[in-house]
Structure 1
Amino acid sequence: MRIAIAGAGAVGRSIAQELLAAGHQVMLIERDRAQFDPHSVEQAEWVHADACELSSLEEAGMELCDVVIAATGDDKVNLVVALLAKTEFAVRRVVARVNDPRNEWLFTEAWGVDVAVSTPRMLAAMVEEAVSVGDLVRLLTLRQGQANLVEVTLPEDTPLSGRPVRALDLPRDAALVTILRGGRVIVPQPDDPLEAGDELLFVAAADVEQQIRNALGC
């Protein structure tokens, strides 16, 4: 895929390196001369321009991109980039970084955002996940709140130990997608037994999270 990243700071460069390693074409757009450093990510295409200016995006060939990532440290800039990418260039997928959690409510389809990534909220979720056993932790919101990626670590005294996955009485709008066990990533099958210490990852609608807790005995 061809992917454009607005913002070539530490976050933008790190994303670019990961995507390049995965075989994608990456274009980094940066207006600040101090941040414009093509040698830091040599495989990427670098564009010295303001990603909030329509003419600059046209010259950069934004219409050829499959994905746009608004990764600057300014939420206002990220919203403008997202809106231009979606409305002016019909980019199929727009991902935007949220720097201030108070602004999350703005990062919706109305502003062209398909996926909003809140760095503070994700860090808080990672900390909570690291210290919480036996409780449901929301890791990531998907599709503007339509679903969440949630995790629970089964405690040592879980009544589910030894029971198969099919014994979980999950609600309709929830799916167990992965079991993390030690160093293994397990794609759950109906007859796979659950074990204490398993990390269970679910994709679920927000309004059924309590039902998941009930099914797990949380």
Structure 2
Amino acid sequence: MRFVIVGAGRVGLRTARVLREEGHEVTLIERAGDRADRAAEQGFTVVAGDGAREEVLVEAGIEDADAVGALTGDLNVNFAACMIADHYGCRTIMRIDEDYREEIYRKYADEVDEVIYPERLGAMGAKNALLGGTIRAIADIAQNLQVVELTITAEAPVRGYTISELQLPADATLLAFGKRDGELGIPSPDESLEEGDRLVVLADFAVLSDVRQILVGEPERRAAVEGGVR
């Protein structure tokens, strides 16, 4: 998937690293020269400029992006970037700091797909918001291993299979299973996989895309756009 992240500060840069480690394409927008240079030194494509300006977002590839994460410390910049990104059909994630009043949060939450508090969620929470609702990272176990929760969709190739018939890549292991709105537990071999069911999988980053295709089955861009509430 392709992402544009506005802001190469602590939150933006860490989120970009997590996404890149999973094989996603990331472009950063940063107007502060030292931060832009630091991101470029780490191998990221960086567009120098104001992420609240449409021409800067277009230069960063917003027309082909699946989602835009507005992760600066400036609420006005974040909101403007999200409104422009929404016009281009991107999923929009906006950072808001905890010192803002609750009514301000609720106002902005109605305008974007997801609002995040990086102080609470960190880079993993920002990444989950960018990816959308059918795959959710739970924990990074090692540099190349992650525990993820995936939700079976109507398009999933394994919908209607039983747990015993499920074949995941060699570097992926099923840890837990839960029916729609039910509790997660040890998977039973005879349990059937239906839309809305959830599976928790331990997987190597290299096979996460394959695991998603098997259990989710929907095109990644559609998943990213429909994962939030519009």
How far apart are 1:32 and its partner, in Å? 1.2
Q: Hey, what does 1:85 align to over in structure 2?
A: 85
Q: Secondary structure at the match of 2:26?
A: strand
Aligned residue identity for 1:72: T
What's the counterpart of residue 56 of structure 1?
Answer: 56
Whether the 8 Å contact between 1:13 and 1:41 is mirrored in structure 2 is: no
Contact 2:9 2:35 in 1 (8 A): yes
**What is residue 109 of structure 2 aligned with on the other side?**
108
Structure 1's unaligned 5+ residue stretches are: 124-141, 143-148, 150-172, 180-185, 193-200, 202-218
1:185-200 equivalences in 2 (<5 Å): none
Q: What's the Cα RMSD here?
A: 3.0
Letter of the structure 2 residue corresponding to residue 21 of structure 1: E
- Pairwise CA distance, 1:58: 2.1
Deviation string 1:150-205 (CA, Å, 9 cap, x unpaired) is xxxxxxxxxxxxxxxxxxxxxxx9443x45xxxxxx5x65999xxxxxxxx9xxxx
Please list every run of at least 4 consecutive aligned residues from structure 1 whose deviation after the TM superposition is greater than 3 angstroms.
120-123, 188-192
Instruction: Out of 16-25 and 70-79, give the one that drifted further.
Output: 70-79
Deviation at 1:16, TM superposition (A): 0.6
Provide the aligned length of Structure 1 versus Structure 2: 134
Please tell me whether the aligned partners of residues 17 and 41 of structure 1 are also in contact (alpha carbons under 8 angstroms): no
Give the Cα separation in 2 of the matches to 1:121 and 1:21: 22
**In 2 relative to 1, CA 120–12 (structure 1 residues): closer, same or farther, beyond 3 Å?**
closer
1:98–1:175: structure 2 CA closer, same or farther, 3 Å change rule? farther
What's the secondary structure of 2:72's corresponding residue?
A: coil
Match of 1:167 in 2: none
Query: After superposition, where does 1:24-43 map in structure 2 within 5 Å?
Result: 24-37=24-37, 38-42=39-43
Using the alignment, how far apart are the partners of 1:78 and 1:175 within structure 2? 36
Q: Distance in 1 between the 2:81 and 2:25 partners?
A: 19
Assess, with a 3 A threshold, how the Cα gap between structure 1 residues 106 and 34 changes in structure 2: closer, same or farther: farther
Secondary structure, counterpart of 2:86 in structure 1: helix
Aligned-partner residue type, residue 54 of structure 2: L
Aligned residue number for residue 22 of structure 2: 22
Q: For the residues of structure 2 that align with 1:119 and 1:22, how far apart are their CA atoms? A: 20
The 5 A counterparts of 1:1-218 are 1-37=1-37, 38-42=39-43, 44-87=44-87, 89-91=88-90, 93-100=91-98, 101-102=100-101, 103-110=104-111, 113-122=112-121, 174-176=181-183, 178=184
Identical counterparts, % of pairs: 33
Tell me which amino acid in the other structure corresponds to 2:107. Answer: L
* Residues 1:61 and 1:99: Cα distance change in structure 2 (over 3 Å): same
Q: Structure 2 length normalisation: TM-score? A: 0.50
Which of the two has higher C-alpha Rg?
1
Structure 2 regions of 5+ residues with no counterpart? 123-128, 130-135, 137-179, 192-199, 201-230
Distance in 2, matches of 1:45 and 1:120, equals: 26
Asked which structure has the greater RCO (Cα within 8 Å, sep 6+), the reply is: 2
Measured after TM superposition, the shift of residue 34 of structure 1 is 2.3
Question: What is the letter of the counterpart of residue 106 of structure 1?
Answer: K
User: What is the distance in 2 between the residues matched to 1:190 and 1:63?
Assistant: 44
Sort the Cα spacing of 1:115 and 1:58 in 2 relative to 1 into closer, same or farther, 3 A.
same
Amino acid at match of 2:57: L
